[in-house]
């Protein structure tokens, strides 16, 4: 009771209003109530109701002010409550949690003492709160711990408390920095088992999951991961409706599933929350075939104002709509960007070929591919586009469904240049049939098929 009494005296000395001699000391109604609660809690050992009410008042005061003095006050109350109610988990949690805060505030925390305390409290080991081991990290001097030491501490942290979210997130990030993506993913999957509805964990986990889907979609069945990502992002956008990033990721997952209309809807939601997703919305509209929306997006600004990925979309948008001059104009700006891609150069050069400007196409290709790493498969596409290998050789070089999708697409473009519209349509329909939904070639092929059908003599 000594600690409580001392805190009480300090508090009321600070709360009293000093007056002239012979004037009475006035106290606010709140202070009077707090004094009475303290007296009742002190004089009646079984009166935990008064002490609990006092704890709530002081906790609210601390949370409003984040003051060390108020923190010590509320800790003293919870310490007494814990002595009287050692099996009250709410009291235990607040007492332990507030001492974590005090450790950080004072840069002083007895890890050994609290570790012994923690090991005797199974409840604390099954909720999302830091075990004492973790406190070694925030209290360590800057740059005093090596990467190995940090990882060792974090490994012990998640072992001591598998429900502690930040432990998994920090350890996952540490492994990611070491390019150990599989370990990072495993940790997040483990964390999700213990915290199945934690938004932070699910958000990070599904970033990895979506990246993995993109990595494996060409060779493996990704349906299980895709279904799980769909369910998780559906949960995330429901629980965090104002998080634009979650809506945009949900849009990506829906596109991966071939659900283009829903993908566009989610992209619209993301863009309505955060304007930086307007470009991503235009991309979603391209997949949906909403040409008016895409045109409006690109008409709103000068070509030099767009991000490089927007320029790539604009090149392909104009290529699939047979706007060759516009595609060529955009390509000239595109190849000046350091973050340009092989595909933007390839399809942009095709626009020059369609204009009969073969020399310009060669110059664009040469300049555009400088300092770009061209993969073996991409080199085969380039060779075919430059008539250095045959169609059969191109298809023979394709190793998976993604290669085939791109092969059919470049074949179709070549057929259009040669005036072989029936062959072009057949190749573009083959792209559609492979259902590589997230590829630009899929979206482009659908638009070309629609255009070719509209100009076919049969129509």
DSSP 456: S
What sign does the dihedral 429-430-435-437 (CA atoms) show?
Answer: negative
In DSSP notation, 189-224 reads: HHHHHH-TT-HHHHHHHHHHHHHHHHHHTTTS--HH
Kindly state the tokens that stand for 455.
Answer: 């100009």
d(CA 16, CA 38): 16
Lowest-confidence region among 6-15, 218-227, 286-295: 6-15
For 166-223, how does the pLDDT look when each residue is reduced to its tens digit (9 = 90+)? 999 999 999 999 999 889 999 999 999 999 999 999 999 999 999 999 999 999 999 9
Kindly state the tokens that stand for 177.
Answer: 């920095």
3-state secondary structure 124-141: HHHCCCCCHHHHHHHHCC
Supply the pTM of this predicted model: 0.82
Instruction: Categorize the per-residue pLDDT at 38 as very low, low, confident or very high, splitting at 50, 70 and 90.
Output: low
For 332-349, how does the pLDDT look when each residue is reduced to its tens digit (9 = 90+)? 999 999 999 999 999 999
Instruction: Categorize the per-residue pLDDT at 457 as very low, low, confident or very high, splitting at 50, 70 and 90.
Output: low
Taking the alpha carbons at both ends of the chain, their separation in whole angstroms is 93
3-state class (DSSP) for residue 405: helix
Instruction: Categorize the per-residue pLDDT at 64 as very low, low, confident or very high, splitting at 50, 70 and 90.
Output: confident
Residues 6+ apart with CB under 8 A from 442: 287, 405, 431, 432, 434, 435, 436
d(CA 97, CA 391): 68
For 224-264, how does the pLDDT look when each residue is reduced to its tens digit (9 = 90+)? 999 999 999 999 999 999 999 999 999 999 999 999 999 99
Lowest-confidence region among 13-17, 124-128, 200-204: 13-17
d(CA 166, CA 31): 38
**In this structure, are residues 394 and 408 in contact, taking their beta carbons and an 8 Å threshold?**
no
User: According to the model, what pLDDT value does residue 20 have?
Assistant: 35
User: According to the model, what pLDDT value does residue 25 have?
Assistant: 42
Instruction: Categorize the per-residue pLDDT at 34 as very low, low, confident or very high, splitting at 50, 70 and 90.
Output: low
Indicate the domain borders of the chain.
1-108
User: According to the model, what pLDDT value does residue 37 have?
Assistant: 55
């Amino acid at each position: 009771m000594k600690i409580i009494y001392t805190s009480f005296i300090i508090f009321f000395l600070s709360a009293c209003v000093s007056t002239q001699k012979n004037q009475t000391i006035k106290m606010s109604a709140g202070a009077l109530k707090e004094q009475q609660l303290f007296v009742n809690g002190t004089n009646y050992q079984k009166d935990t109701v008064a002490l609990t009410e006092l704890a709530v008042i002081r906790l609210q005061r601390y949370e409003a002010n984040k003051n060390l003095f108020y923190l010590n006050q509320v800790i003293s109350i919870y310490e007494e409550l814990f002595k009287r109610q050692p099996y009250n988990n709410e009291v235990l949690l607040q007492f332990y949690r507030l001492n974590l805060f005090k450790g950080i505030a004072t840069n002083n925390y007895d890890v050994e003492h609290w570790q012994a305390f923690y090991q005797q409290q199974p409840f604390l080991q099954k909720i999302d709160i830091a075990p004492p081991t973790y406190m070694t990290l925030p209290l360590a001097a800057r740059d005093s711990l090596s990467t190995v030491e940090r990882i060792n501490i974090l490994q012990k942290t998640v072992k001591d408390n598998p429900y502690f979210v930040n432990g998994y997130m920090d350890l996952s990030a540490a492994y990611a920095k070491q390019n150990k993506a599989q370990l990072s993913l495993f940790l997040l999957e483990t964390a999700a088992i213990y915290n199945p509805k934690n938004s932070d964990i699910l958000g990070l986990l599904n970033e990895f999951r979506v990246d993995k889907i993109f990595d494996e979609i060409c060779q493996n069945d990704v349906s299980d991961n895709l279904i799980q990502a769909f369910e998780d992002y559906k949960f995330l956008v429901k629980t965090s409706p104002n998080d634009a990033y979650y809506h945009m990721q949900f849009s990506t997952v829906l596109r991966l599933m071939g659900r283009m209309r829903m993908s566009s809807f989610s992209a619209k939601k993301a863009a309505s929350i955060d304007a930086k997703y307007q470009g991503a919305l235009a991309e979603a509209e391209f997949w949906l075939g909403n040409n008016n929306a895409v045109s409006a997006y690109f008409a709103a600004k000068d070509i030099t104002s767009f991000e490089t990925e927007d320029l790539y979309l604009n090149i392909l948008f104009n290529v699939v709509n047979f706007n060759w001059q516009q595609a060529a104009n955009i390509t000239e700006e595109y190849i000046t960007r350091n973050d340009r891609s092989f595909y933007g150069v390839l399809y942009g050069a095709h626009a020059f070929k369609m204009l009969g400007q073969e020399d310009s196409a060669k110059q664009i290709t040469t300049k555009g591919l400088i300092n770009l790493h061209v993969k073996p498969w991409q080199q085969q596409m380039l060779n075919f586009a430059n008539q250095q290998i045959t169609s059969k050789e191109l298809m023979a070089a394709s190793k998976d469904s993604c290669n085939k999708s791109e092969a059919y697409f470049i074949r179709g473009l070549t057929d259009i240049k040669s005036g072989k519209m029936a062959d072009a349509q057949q190749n573009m329909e083959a792209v559609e049939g492979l259902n590589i939904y997230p590829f630009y070639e899929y979206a482009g092929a659908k638009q070309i098929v629609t255009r070719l059908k509209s100009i076919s003599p049969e129509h």
